[in-house]
Structure 1
Amino acid sequence: MQRSSTIAAGAVLLALTTACGPLPVYYKQGAAVSRLQSDELTCATQALKDAPVANEVRQRPPVYYPGRQVCHGSGCYYRPGYWADGGIYTVDVNKPLRQRLEKSCMAAKGYQQIALKRCTRQDAAALPGPRLAPLTEASCAQRNRDGSTVIRTGG
């Protein structure tokens, strides 16, 4: 029971860390936002065709917890050791290749991948322009619910 709580807490921490850290985005100064979105979709689709999802089911090794002596008042007894299942998980073995293919495709179209801070609520209220403006210290990015990314220059 305690182990599953630890795993759940770790998953929440990982989700918060990835949701709060810098956001990787593709950028080419002066490019039309609609062109960027189209190029991203084209490259992602081609990468998916070239390196399709290839999920493999894997299992972590079981873990042995040894027994221990427990003493209360005048008597002692031994708790037996036990094995805990290592857990089963799925890995897409083509994901790293697919990411490299997409990055290469975008580089061939003149984009570079950069990491921008995530926009605050006030930053997100500003409407982006039709073209990617020069980056400033105030530049930030936000991921939309549909998976698209918006870069805001903050100026």
Structure 2
Amino acid sequence: MKPYVLGISILIAVAGCTSFGTYYKPGTTLEKIDRDTLSCRTRAEREVPPRIIIDRYPVYGPPRTPGGPRVILYWETNYIDLNEGLRDRVRAQCMSDAGYERVAIPYCTEEQLAGKTFKPLAKTPKLDESICAVRRDGKRILIDLDKPL
């Protein structure tokens, strides 16, 4: 692998750990965002059901086996949902109609937390550089770094 490809791969992997993408609307709770996301996902599934096609193509091999030349034919199968992209757009439009926008919220770094205690935010504030997320009990919670306890 070329050094620059490895470096870019590492940067992408690290960047994926520093923030998370979500729908966001100031003044709501994370639970309401989850409920609205589920509602829009359900609506999109109902309006744009999966349209699965099965793509099969032959694969030949091995060209030689003990006891003489022999060709074995078997089928490779791919399942493709043609409506997946449209369903994603319907879900995104539903969330936009409900007042949400897609954002990336950074995770708090160890240096930012540095032995301080923070209270989880009950409602989503207007996003600025003092808002970040922490993983706790398998959930993401938002905190305001300007308001330690």
TM-score (norm 1): 0.55
- Asked if 1:24 is matched to 2:21, the reply is yes
- Asked if 1:111 is matched to 2:108, the reply is no
What is the letter of the counterpart of residue 150 of structure 1? R
5+ residue gaps, structure 2 = 1-8, 61-70
Q: Distance in 1 between matches of 2:30 and 2:86?
A: 26
Q: Offset at 1:33?
A: 2.4
Offset from partner CA, 1:43-91 (integer Å, 9 cap, x none): 111011011122222247869xxxxxxxxxxxxxxxxxx9x98943222
- Asked if 1:49 is matched to 2:46, the reply is yes
Match of 2:5 in 1: none
What is the letter of the counterpart of residue 137 of structure 1? E
- Asked if 1:102 is matched to 2:102, the reply is no
TM-score (norm 2): 0.57
- Secondary structure, counterpart of 1:129 in structure 2: coil
- Secondary structure, counterpart of 2:49 in structure 1: coil
Q: Offset at 1:154?
A: 4.9
1:120–1:21 CA distance, 2 compared to 1 (3 A)? closer
What is the letter of the counterpart of residue 32 of structure 1? T
* Count of aligned positions: 125
Match of 2:67 in 1: none
5+ residue gaps, structure 1 = 1-12, 64-81
| Aligned alpha-carbon RMSD (Å) | 4.4
